[in-house]
Amino acid sequence: MLTSFFGKSIPLNYLILGVFIVAGYLLGAISGSLVVITPYLLFVHSAFIILSVLIMLLLDFIIRKNHLTKTNTFAILFFTCFMVMLPVIFLQHKILLANAFLILALRRIMSLRSDKNSSKKILDASFWITIASLFYFWSLLFFIPLWIAIIQKPNSNYKQMLIPFTGFAAVLIINTAYQLLINDSFAWFFNWMEPVSFDFSKYNSPSVLVPATVILAFYIWTGVYRTLRLSAVSIKEKSNYLLMLYVSLISLLTALMGPEKTGAEILFVLAPISIIAANYIEGFETDRYVEKDITEFWFKEIMLWLVVVLPFVFLFL
C-alpha cells in the first residue's frame, strides 16, 4: 500500500523518487527534443537532472526542519509526480534555476519562526529571491511572503523590514559589475523586467492542459480543506500554517505573471501544493474518526495511486 510505504521516511523512498525524476527527465525532455545530443548537451542535461533531484531533496529538508508535515515522504512524492506529469518543465532550464533559488529562499522564510539569526535569514532569503529574478523576473513577488514572515516572527522590528532591500541591492550591484566586465554593457537592466502575457494557447495541447487541470484540482481541493481546518490549528502552528497558504497564492501569481505560458511555469506552485496535499493526506488519520475508517483509507490510497500512475499516462498524450 502506498500510504504505508510513503508514510515512512526511509532511504528507499528517496532512491525511488530520485530514479523517477531521472526517468521523467529522460523520457519527457531528451526523447521529446529534436536537437542532436552532443557532449555539451549531455553535460547540460546531466547537470539539470542532478539539479532536479537536489530540488526534491531540498524541499524534503525544509519540510523536516520546519515540521511542515509529519515524518513521511508524501510531500516529495506529490512534488516528484507533479513535476514528471509536465515534462516541459525539464526543457525550461531558466525556470528550473529560478525555482531552485526560490526554494532556497523558502527555506529561510519558513525558518523565521525561530528568532535565531533572524537578520541573516532575511538577508539570505532576499539574496536568493533576487538571484531567482535574474532567471525569471516575477520571482520578485516572493518578497511578499518574506515580509509577511518578518511581521509574523517574534520580536519583529522596522529595521528588519528594511533588510530585504539590502539583499536586493547587493545582487543588483554584483550583477551589474559582472555585466560591465563581461559584456561591457548595462543593457541587461532594461531587459530585466519581463512583460506579462496571458496567452494560454499552448495549454490547448493535451500534454499540458490535462496535467495542469489535475494539479489545479489538487490545489483547490486541498487548499479548501486547509482553509476550513484553520480554526483547529494551534496558535503556535497557525503562523506557519497561514504562511504556506500565502506562499502558495504568491507562487500561483508568479506563474501567471510570466512572459510565456508553456506549462513549465507551473513548477513554481508545485512545492507549496505538495506540502498542502501531504497535510491533507495526513489529516484523514485524526480529523474525523478515532478509529481508521476503511472508506477514508481507500480514498487516500486511490488518490496516491492516481498521482503515481498519471505521469506515465501523460507521457503518451
Q: Tell the residue number behind the cell numbers 557532449, with chain if given.
A: 39
Beta strand extents in 28-180 (DSSP E only): none
Position 138, amino acid? W
Q: Please give the pLDDT value at position 103.
A: 96
**Rama region for 155: left / alpha / beta (φ>0; ψ in -120 to 50; rest):** left
Q: Please give the pLDDT value at position 225.
A: 83
202 and 253 Cβ atoms separated by less than 8 Å: no
CA distances to 133, 190, 218, 224, 269 from 241, in Å: 26, 38, 18, 13, 16
56 and 74 Cβ atoms separated by less than 8 Å: no
- At 221-257, the pLDDT tens digits run 888 888 888 877 777 777 888 899 999 999 999 999 9
Residues with Cβ within 8 Å of 215's Cβ and at least 6 positions away in sequence, in order, are 82, 85, 86, 266, 269, 270, 273
Q: What is the chain's pLDDT, residue by residue, as a tens digit (317 residues)?
A: 777 788 888 889 999 999 999 998 888 766 655 566 778 888 888 999 999 999 999 999 999 998 888 889 999 999 999 999 998 899 899 999 999 999 999 999 998 887 788 899 999 999 999 999 999 999 999 999 999 999 988 777 888 899 999 999 999 999 999 988 888 777 788 888 888 988 888 898 888 999 999 999 989 988 888 888 887 777 777 788 889 999 999 999 999 998 889 999 999 999 999 999 998 888 655 444 434 567 777 778 888 899 999 888 887 66
Could you tell me the pTM of the whole model?
0.92
- At 88-136, the pLDDT tens digits run 899 899 999 999 999 999 999 998 887 788 899 999 999 999 999 999 9
Quick one: cell of 47? 547537470
Q: Please give the pLDDT value at position 38.
A: 78
Can you tell me the distance from the alpha carbon of 270 to that of 83, in angstroms, rounded to the nearest whole number? 7
Nearest to 138 by CA among 47, 255, 232: 255
